[in-house]
Structure 1
Amino acid sequence: MSVLRLLWSNMTHRKMLSLLTILSVAVTVALIVFLLLCSDGVERGAEKGYGPFEVTIGAKGSSSQLALNTYYHIGAPTGNVPFTLLEEVRKDTQVEAAYAMTTGDQLNGFPIVGMEPGYFATRYGTDTKMAQGKLYGQLGEAVIGSYAAKTMGLHIGDRFQGAHGLVKGAADVDDDDEDEPGHEEHDHHHSFSYTVVGILSPLLTSDDRAVFTTLDYAWAVHESQQGDHKEVTAILVKPKTLLGAQAVKTKFGQISNVQAIYTSKAVADVVNVVDQGAQALSVVTAVCIVLAAVSIVLSLIAAVNERKKDVGLLRLIGKSKRFIWMSLIGEGLLLTLIGLLIGLIAGHAGGYASREAVFEFTGLQIESWGWMPGELLLVAGTLLIGIVASIGPALQAYRVDPLQLFRS
C-alpha cells in the first residue's frame, strides 16, 4: 500500500473531522490572501494615484480630504479657491504645469469633474488614447471613464443631465418641494445637458470611474459663479523640481483660506491609516491561524489510538521508519495542503468577485489573479504549521511498543 493511499484512507475514515480541519485552514488562508490583495491595491493606488502632481492647492481644511477628493474622487471637496489663483500659479517660475479642477456634481453616483484637456497628456503621457471618440473641447461635451461608461452603458452621442452633490440621488426633488431652497439649482442642473463625445481607454486609476467635462461647466450650472466670482475646487501642480515643489507649497500656502499640500505626504497619511486598520485585522487573522493549527492537532489526536495500531502493524511487517513517519506526519500535512489550495483559490476568487465593488467605492484596483509577494511566505508558513501540528500526535503514536500493543 502506498503512503498516499494510506493517508487518503485515514482521512476519509473521519470525514467530518477532516472536512472541518480543511475548512479552518482554507478560511484562514483565504482571509490572508484577500488582505494581501487589498494591501497591494492600496500600495499601487498610492504610487500612481496622483501622477506627477506633487503639489495640490485647495481651500483650507484636511489635506487628506483634499488629496482623496482631487485624485481618487472620494468624499467631498474642502471648498473652493478663486479661479484667478490659477494664473498666479502658472506664472511661477518653479511650475512646469498646473491645471484647475471643478467638482461637486454627479451622474448616477459617478463624479462629474471639470478638467482642462491637457491634464490627460501631463498625467498619462501624450500616447494616451481614447477608446472611442475624442476629448471634449466645448461646454457641454463630456468624456466618460472606461468603468463609468461600462457601468452606465453610455455611448458616443448619448446625452445626460447631472445632479448636484456627490451622492447618487442627492439631487432628487419631488414636485411638492418647488418652494424649498435649492429647487431652482436642481432645475438648473436638469436644464443643462451633456453630450458624450469620447470614452477613455482603461487608465487603471480612479479616473476610470469619473465623468470629465470642460472646466467651465460648474460656472454654467451654478449661476452664482460668474465674472470675478469664478471658483475652482483644486489646482493640480507639476513642479519643475523637488526644490521647486517646496517653494510652490510655501508661497501659495501662505494665502488666506488657501492650503498647499505635498500630495505624496497626504496620500501616505491615508495609507498609514489603512495600514493601521490592516494591523487590527491581522489580530483576527492570527486567531484564525491558531484555530487552524489547533484543528489539525485535534483531528490527529482524535485518531491517535487508531494510528497506534496502524503504526504497530506497519512496524511488525517491516516497513521502514521513513514510510512510518511519512504516514504519521503526512496526514496532517495533506489536510493542510488541501486547505491551503482551497484557500488560495477562494481568496483570489473573492478578490475577483469584489473587485468592481471595491473599485466603485475606493477607486483602488485589485489584481485578483496576480501572485502577491507575500503568498510564497504564506504557503511556506502554512505547510510549516501543518508539519509542527502533526509532530506531537505522531510522536505519541510512534513511541508505542508494537508487541505490547497487540498482547493487550
Structure 2
Amino acid sequence: MKLISLLWNNILHRKTLSLVTVLSVAITVALVVFLLLCSAGLEQGAEKGYGPFEVTIGAKGSASQLALNTYYHIGAPTGNVPLSLLDEVRKDPQVSSAFAMTTGDNLNGFPIVGMEPGYFPVRYGNDTQLAEGKLYGKLGEAVLGSYAASALGLHVGDKFQGAHGLVKGAADEDEGAGADGDHDEHEAHHSFTYTIVGILPPLHTSDDRAIYTTLDYAWAVHESQSGANKDVTAILVKPSSLLGAQSIKTKYGQISNVQAIYTSKAVADVVNVVDKGTQALSVVTGVCVVLAAGTILLSLIAAVQERKRDVGLLRLIGKSKGFIWMALVGEGLSLTLIGLILGLLIGHLGGYLGREAVFEFAGLQIQSWQLMPGEWMLAVFTLLIGGLAAAGPALQAYRVDPLQLFKS
C-alpha cells in the first residue's frame, strides 16, 4: 500500500475530525496573516504619511492628535493658529517651505482640506500628474483624491456642497440641536458650491481619501473671519536641515497657545500605541496556536486508538516501523499543510475584502496580495507545530509490539 494513498484514506475516513483540525489551523494562520498585513500597512503609512514635513505647527494640545489630523485626516484638530504666523514661518531662514492647512468640513465623511496647490509638488515631487483635469486655482474649485472620487462617484465638472464637521452627519446633528448659530452655519455650507476641476492619481497615502480646495474656503464658508483675524488649522513645515528642524521647533513652540512638534516622533508615538494593541492580539493568536496544536494532537490520538488493529496488521504483513511512523506523522502534517494553505488564502482574501474599510477608517493601505516576510516563518512554525503534535501519538504506536497491538 502506498503511503500517500494510506494518508488520504485515513483523512477521509474521519471527515469531521479532519475538517475541524484543518479549520482550526486555517483560522489561526488567517488571523496571523491579517495582522501581518495590517502591521505592514501601518509601517508603510507611518513612513510616507507626512512626507518631508518634519515639523508641524498647530494649537496647543496633543501632539499625536495634531499629527493624525494634519496628515492622516483622523480625529479633530487641536484648534487654530493665526494665519499671520505662516508669513513669519516662511521668512525663517531655517525653513525650506511651509504650507498652511484649513479643515473642519466634510462631504459624506470625506474631509475637505484647504491647502495651497504648491503642497503637492513639494510632497510628491514635481513630476506628479493629475489623473484627470487640473489643480484648483480659485475659490470654489476642488480636487478629489483618487479613493474619494471613486467612493463618491464624482467626476471632473461635477458640483457639490460640503457639510460642517469632520464626520458624516455631524451637520445634521448640529442642526437638530436647535441653535440658531448652528442653523445659520448649516445654511452657509449648503449655499457654497464647489466645482471639481481635477482628480489626483493614486498617491497611496491618506491624501487619497481627502478633498482639496483653496486655503480660503473655510473663511468664505463660515464668514466669521476677516483681515488679520484669519486662522488656520495647522502649518506644515519642511526644514532646510535637521538642525533647522530643531531650531524651528524650539522657536515656535515658545509662542503662547502654539505648539511645534517633530512630526516623526508624534507618528512614532501613535505607532507604538498600536503596536501594544497588536501585542495584545498576539496573545490571542498564541492561544489559537495552542488550540490548533491541541486539535491536531487529539485528532491523531483518536486515530491511533481507532486504528490499532490496522497498525498491527500493517506491521504483521511486513510494513516497517518507519512506515507506520510516517503514516501517522504524515497524517498530522498533511492536515496542517492543508490548513496552512487555506489559512494563507483566507488571510489575504480577508485583507483584500477589508482593505477599503481599513483605508477609509485609518488611511492605511493594505497590500492584500503581497507576500509578507513573516509568512515564511509562519509556514515553518505551523508545520513544526503540526509535526510535534503528531509525533506523540505516532511514537506511541511505534513502540508497541505488533502482536500485542493486534490482539488489543
TM-score range, shorter chain: over 0.9
Query: Do the aligned residues in 2 keep the contact of 1:101 with 1:233 (CA within 8 Å)?
Result: yes
Match of 1:52, SS? Answer: coil
- What CA distance in whole angstroms lies between the structure 2 residues aligned with 1:216 and 1:137? 11
Equivalent residues in 2 for 1:174-189, closer than 5 Å: 180-189=180-189
Counterpart residue identity of residue 8, structure 2: W
Offset of 1:3 from its aligned partner?
1.1
Counterpart residue identity of residue 71, structure 1: Y
Q: Tell me whether 1:48 sits opposite 2:60 in the alignment.
A: no
Query: Do the aligned residues in 1 keep the contact of 2:142 with 2:213 (CA within 8 Å)?
Result: yes
- What CA distance in whole angstroms lies between the structure 1 residues aligned with 2:320 and 2:87? 84
**Aligned equivalent of 1:355:** 355
- What CA distance in whole angstroms lies between the structure 2 residues aligned with 1:175 and 1:295? 56
- What CA distance in whole angstroms lies between the structure 1 residues aligned with 2:404 and 2:175? 92
Query: Do the aligned residues in 1 keep the contact of 2:58 with 2:81 (CA within 8 Å)?
Result: yes
**Aligned equivalent of 1:403:** 403
Match of 2:196, SS? Answer: strand
Counterpart residue identity of residue 44, structure 2: R
Equivalent residues in 2 for 1:291-302, closer than 5 Å: 291-302=291-302
Offset of 1:323 from its aligned partner?
2.6
Match of 1:360, SS? Answer: helix
Q: Tell me whether 1:10 sits opposite 2:17 in the alignment.
A: no
Query: Do the aligned residues in 1 keep the contact of 2:308 with 2:406 (CA within 8 Å)?
Result: no
Question: Which segments of 5 or more consecutive residues in structure 2 lack a partner in the other structure?
Answer: none
Offset of 1:171 from its aligned partner?
1.1
Cα deviation 1:12-66 (Å, max 9, x = unaligned): 1111111111111111001111111111111000000000000000000000000
Residues 406 and 167 from structure 1, CA distance in 2 versus in 1: closer, same or farther, beyond 3 angstroms?
closer
Counterpart residue identity of residue 186, structure 1: H
Q: Percent identity?
A: 76
Residues 266 and 407 from structure 1, CA distance in 2 versus in 1: closer, same or farther, beyond 3 angstroms?
closer
**Aligned equivalent of 2:274:** 274
Residues 175 and 208 from structure 1, CA distance in 2 versus in 1: closer, same or farther, beyond 3 angstroms?
closer
Query: Do the aligned residues in 2 keep the contact of 1:311 with 1:398 (CA within 8 Å)?
Result: no
**Aligned equivalent of 1:86:** 86
Calculate the TM-score normalised by the size of structure 1: 0.98
**Aligned equivalent of 2:371:** 371
Equivalent residues in 2 for 1:199-348, closer than 5 Å: 199-348=199-348
Offset of 1:142 from its aligned partner?
0.2
Match of 1:20, SS? Answer: helix
Offset of 1:343 from its aligned partner?
0.5
Deviates more, 1:305-314 or 1:282-291: 305-314
Deviates more, 1:248-257 or 1:305-314: 305-314
Calculate the TM-score normalised by the size of structure 2: 0.98
CA root-mean-square deviation: 1.4
Match of 1:181, SS? Answer: helix
Question: Which segments of 5 or more consecutive residues in structure 1 lack a partner in the other structure?
Answer: none
- What CA distance in whole angstroms lies between the structure 2 residues aligned with 1:406 and 1:229? 94
Match of 2:180, SS? Answer: coil
- What CA distance in whole angstroms lies between the structure 2 residues aligned with 1:347 and 1:357? 16
Deviates more, 1:182-191 or 1:170-179: 170-179
- What CA distance in whole angstroms lies between the structure 1 residues aligned with 2:64 and 2:175? 39
Counterpart residue identity of residue 147, structure 1: Y
- What CA distance in whole angstroms lies between the structure 2 residues aligned with 1:407 and 1:302? 18
Counterpart residue identity of residue 20, structure 1: V
Offset of 1:180 from its aligned partner?
2.6
Residues 223 and 7 from structure 1, CA distance in 2 versus in 1: closer, same or farther, beyond 3 angstroms?
same
Offset of 1:197 from its aligned partner?
0.1
Cα deviation 1:40-98 (Å, max 9, x = unaligned): 11100000000000000000000000000000000000000000000110001010010
Offset of 1:219 from its aligned partner?
0.9
**Aligned equivalent of 2:98:** 98
Q: Number of paired residues?
A: 408
Counterpart residue identity of residue 22, structure 1: V
Query: Do the aligned residues in 2 keep the contact of 1:106 with 1:165 (CA within 8 Å)?
Result: yes
Query: Do the aligned residues in 2 keep the contact of 1:105 with 1:163 (CA within 8 Å)?
Result: yes
Offset of 1:300 from its aligned partner?
0.6
Cα deviation 1:265-322 (Å, max 9, x = unaligned): 0000000000000011111101100000000000011121334333322222223443
Counterpart residue identity of residue 240, structure 1: S
Query: Do the aligned residues in 2 keep the contact of 1:336 with 1:386 (CA within 8 Å)?
Result: yes
Query: Do the aligned residues in 2 keep the contact of 1:307 with 1:397 (CA within 8 Å)?
Result: no
**Aligned equivalent of 1:69:** 69
Query: Do the aligned residues in 1 keep the contact of 2:41 with 2:364 (CA within 8 Å)?
Result: yes
Query: Do the aligned residues in 2 keep the contact of 1:77 with 1:233 (CA within 8 Å)?
Result: yes
- What CA distance in whole angstroms lies between the structure 2 residues aligned with 1:405 and 1:112? 76
Counterpart residue identity of residue 208, structure 1: D
- What CA distance in whole angstroms lies between the structure 1 residues aligned with 2:206 and 2:179? 38
- What CA distance in whole angstroms lies between the structure 1 residues aligned with 2:216 and 2:196? 16
Cα deviation 1:172-224 (Å, max 9, x = unaligned): 27998776332111111111110000000000000000000000101111111
Offset of 1:119 from its aligned partner?
0.5
Deviates more, 1:350-359 or 1:217-226: 217-226
Query: Do the aligned residues in 2 keep the contact of 1:132 with 1:156 (CA within 8 Å)?
Result: yes
- What CA distance in whole angstroms lies between the structure 1 residues aligned with 2:338 and 2:214? 55
Deviates more, 1:132-141 or 1:394-403: 394-403
**Aligned equivalent of 2:132:** 132
**Aligned equivalent of 2:382:** 382
Residues 168 and 176 from structure 1, CA distance in 2 versus in 1: closer, same or farther, beyond 3 angstroms?
closer
Deviates more, 1:321-330 or 1:259-268: 321-330
- What CA distance in whole angstroms lies between the structure 2 residues aligned with 1:179 and 1:362? 32
Cα deviation 1:139-193 (Å, max 9, x = unaligned): 0000000000000110111011111101101112799877633211111111111
- What CA distance in whole angstroms lies between the structure 1 residues aligned with 2:175 and 2:350? 43
